[in-house]
Amino acid sequence: MGKKIIALDAGHGMGTAGKRCLQSIDPAQTREWYLNDRIADRVQELLGAYDCSVLRVDDTTGTKDISLANRVKTANNAKADIYVSVHHNAGINGGSGGGTVVYYYNDAQMRAKAQRLYDAVVGSTGLIGNRSSKVIANGFYVIMHTTMPAFLLENGFMDSTKDTPIILTADHAEKTAQGIVSFLAAELSLRKNDDGQQGGDESNPSGDQSGSLPDKEETYYPAYTGKKTTLAPALAGIGVNSSYSFRAKIAAANDIKGYIGTAAQNTRIYNLLVAGLLKRV
Ligand SMILES: [Zn+2]
């Protein structure tokens, strides 16, 4: 078995209409995307300490609201092991209730996992609230159409006088991220990167001089770790042909059909590249 793959998304795009904190509580009307993305980014960072790949199926700059269908497709094509979608809730309309909810799709096994995610997040943040159900079955697109266990976290309410001041804090974001990561580490039995060499299918006890590359390097381009935020410069940065025609070949090799170089298509390829999951041509 290869590395576990964790698919993550930060809910909506930055500009998605209506998704922001209630003005009477937060005069800045902080956007939901900002709150979601701050947590998703931190989850990704914390997971860097583990032997796993993180696949952002959204646009991490928030500029483009990647369609839900494309998010799902990217996760399914990469055969991700788990999918977590980070959101913040609304519907209290200035009331004082609130709290955390985790949505899942389907069966009792998923419900048990959703409960463990809820417990991990709330155990870390303490944001319990007054929801009658904390773990709820729902047919939300990304949890229904993904082929791996998938969960949608609503991490407190953007229109609750109790929740909103809390969810705006960096401390709450950090605790949420830590809760999500502790859930993922336990659920997928992730190993810390410095846990020694036992049992790792990619470890090489003799240290070097290996006669053949590990499978992963033959299958995927090396993960891009540089600072470029768009596809062509990132490809160039790892010495891969970044021309339009070659990007079209890369798209085809990665099940991205009908490549015409749209921003959304390039973002999907870019996110695979960052995750080390972009299949070679
Ligand atoms: Zn949302």
Ligand 1 centre distance from Cα of residue 269 (Å): 24
Q: From the CA of 217, how far away is ligand 1's center (Å)?
A: 36
Can you tell me the mean pLDDT for 144-157? 98
CA of 28 to the centre of ligand 1 (A): 18
Q: Ligand 1 centroid vs 160 CA: distance in angstroms?
A: 15
- pLDDT of 91 higher than 70: yes
Cα 66 to middle of ligand 1, angstroms: 14
Q: What residues form DSSP beta bridges with 155?
A: 100
Q: Compute the distance from residue 32 Cα to the ligand 1 centre, in Å.
A: 7
Task: Assess whether pLDDT exceeds 60 at residue 116.
Answer: yes
Percent of the chain with pLDDT over 90: 81
Q: What domains sit in the chain, N to C, each tagged with a CATH number? A: 4-187 (3.40.630.40), 215-275 (no CATH)
Quick one: tokens of 245?
């025609």
Report the separation in Å between the CA atom of 252 and the middle of ligand 1, taken as the mean of its atom positions: 31
Distance CA 110, CA 115 (A): 8
**Per-residue pLDDT for 238 more than 70?**
yes
pTM for this predicted structure: 0.84
Q: 12 C-alpha to center of ligand 1: Å?
A: 6
How many angstroms does the Cα of residue 235 sit away from the middle of ligand 1? 32
CA of 13 to the centre of ligand 1 (A): 10
- The span from the CA of 205 to the CA of 194, in Å, is 14
Q: Does residue 180 carry a pLDDT above 60?
A: yes
Distance 188 CA to ligand 1 centre (A): 25
**Tens of pLDDT, residues 18-50:** 899 999 999 999 999 999 999 999 999 999 999
